[in-house]
């Protein structure tokens, strides 16, 4: 599965003169077709690209793993979420593996179960937090503040959710919007719970993220919320990323997967933080 990533990276670096092979060319064409026609059948793609339907299915699986498109029984739909751009410092949502995705799903589902009727919650940027938005109970009266386009899309599907959005300029690497006025806006909101993500959690250097522009936003959402819930998979522990946004002891609850080391379990418990592993 790992080897597929190279295709995507070539897709991302289209303009550079990287040696491209047939498969890469075909996948690029496929994406181009999907961009224009939101829904296409596999049969049609197969005849247009002159390969068997089976090959198209395999290509689509790659695209699905990378959240570019999905095949839903009969029609392939393009996911416009995928905006092609290289990240500030190589940290790209596309780079996450498929295995981690199910972990993220589990973490997200569990975190969503912490939300009660009439709660006002804030959902931070990230692929794990996106899963929270997707797993929120339906037909429950919940207000949700966010600033990510992918999370907004998920919330929109839930008729019970009152959406609050902090806008600004778009950062395609994280799919979030951000500007100074949004910080003011967030500071004027009050929430029972915040679900904050992190790219690094370190015992001495604290909780960090990849991009400096995220810092004021993360600090504002922590400040506006009563209960501070950190959601991140276990691979982020012992990692340090360039942008520091809070100390670990500012966090009330951590939700992560059960690959977390004993060391960390102790450390978290000693810090008086509630830990949930899924």
Q: Which listed option, a copy of itself, DNA, none, makes contact with residue 5 (CB within 5 to 8 Å by class)? A: none
Residue found by looking up tokens 């997707």 in the block:
134
CB neighbours of 19 closer than 8 A, spacing ≥ 6?
none
Give the whole-angstrom CA distance, residue 65 versus residue 25: 18
Give the x-and-dash track for 150-169 against a copy of itself (CB under 8 A): --xx--xx-x--xxxxxxxx
3-state SS, residue 9: helix
Residue 50 contacts a copy of itself per CB under 8 A: no
Residue 54 contacts DNA per CB under 7 A: yes
Residue 52 contacts DNA per CB under 7 A: yes
Give the whole-angstrom CA distance, residue 74 versus residue 71: 7
Q: Which of 30, 31, 42, 186 binds DNA (CB under 7 A)?
A: 42
Q: Which of 81, 205, 215, 271 binds a copy of itself (CB under 8 A)?
A: 81
Q: Which of 188, 204, 270, 272 binds a copy of itself (CB under 8 A)?
A: 188
Name all contacts of 56-62 with Cβ < 8 Å and 24+ positions apart. 56/30, 59/23, 59/26, 59/27, 59/30, 60/30, 62/4, 62/7, 62/8, 62/27
DSSP 8-state code for residue 2: G
Give the whole-angstrom CA distance, residue 107 versus residue 128: 7
Residue 51 contacts DNA per CB under 7 A: yes
Name all contacts of 150-157 with Cβ < 8 Å and 24+ positions apart. 150/81, 150/175, 151/123, 151/125, 153/81, 154/130
Q: How far is the CB of 19 from DNA (least distance, A)?
A: 7
Q: Which of 83, 223, 259, 261 binds a copy of itself (CB under 8 A)?
A: 83
Residue 5 contacts DNA per CB under 7 A: no
Count Cβ atoms below 10 Å from residue 147 Cβ, excluding itself: 28
Site for DNA in 56-115 (CB under 7 A): 57-59, 71-74
| Nearer to DNA among residue 41 and residue 235 (C-beta) | 41
Q: Which listed option, DNA, a copy of itself, none, makes contact with residue 39 (CB within 5 to 8 Å by class)? A: a copy of itself
Give the whole-angstrom CA distance, residue 171 versus residue 173: 6
Contact footprint for DNA (CB under 7 A)? 3-4, 7, 19, 21-23, 26, 41-43, 50-55, 57-59, 71-74
Contact footprint for a copy of itself (CB under 8 A)? 32, 35-39, 41, 72-75, 77-78, 80-81, 83-84, 147, 149, 152-153, 156-157, 159, 162-170, 177, 179, 181-182, 184-185, 188
């Amino acid at each position: 599965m790992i080897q597929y990533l190279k295709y995507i990276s070539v897709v991302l670096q289209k303009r550079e003169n990287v040696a491209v092979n047939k498969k890469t060319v075909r996948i690029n064409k496929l994406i181009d077709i999907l961009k224009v026609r939101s829904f296409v059948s596999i049969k049609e793609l197969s005849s247009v690209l002159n390969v068997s339907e089976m090959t198209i299915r395999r290509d689509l699986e790659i695209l699905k793993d990378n959240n570019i498109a999905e095949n839903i029984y009969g029609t392939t739909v393009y996911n416009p979420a995928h905006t092609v751009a290289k990240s500030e410092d190589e940290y790209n949502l596309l780079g996450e593996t498929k295995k981690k995705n199910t972990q993220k799903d589990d973490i997200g589902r569990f975190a969503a179960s912490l939300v009660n009727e009439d709660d006002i919650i804030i959902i931070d940027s990230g692929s794990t937090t996106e899963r929270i938005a997707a797993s929120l109970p339906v037909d429950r009266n919940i207000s949700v503040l966010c600033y990510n386009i992918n999370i907004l899309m998920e919330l929109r599907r839930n008729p019970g959710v009152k959406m609050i959005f902090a806008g600004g300029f778009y950062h395609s690497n994280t799919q979030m919007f951000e500007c100074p006025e949004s910080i003011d806006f967030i500071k004027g909101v009050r929430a029972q719970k915040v679900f904050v993500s992190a790219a690094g959690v370190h015992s001495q250097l604290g909780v960090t993220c990849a991009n400096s522009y995220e810092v004021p936003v993360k600090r504002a959402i922590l400040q506006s919320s009563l209960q501070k819930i950190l959601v991140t998979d276990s691979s982020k522990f012992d990692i340090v990323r360039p942008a520091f946004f809070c100390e670990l002891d500012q966090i009330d609850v951590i939700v992560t997967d059960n690959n977390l080391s004993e060391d960390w379990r102790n450390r978290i418990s000693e810090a008086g933080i509630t830990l949930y592993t899924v």
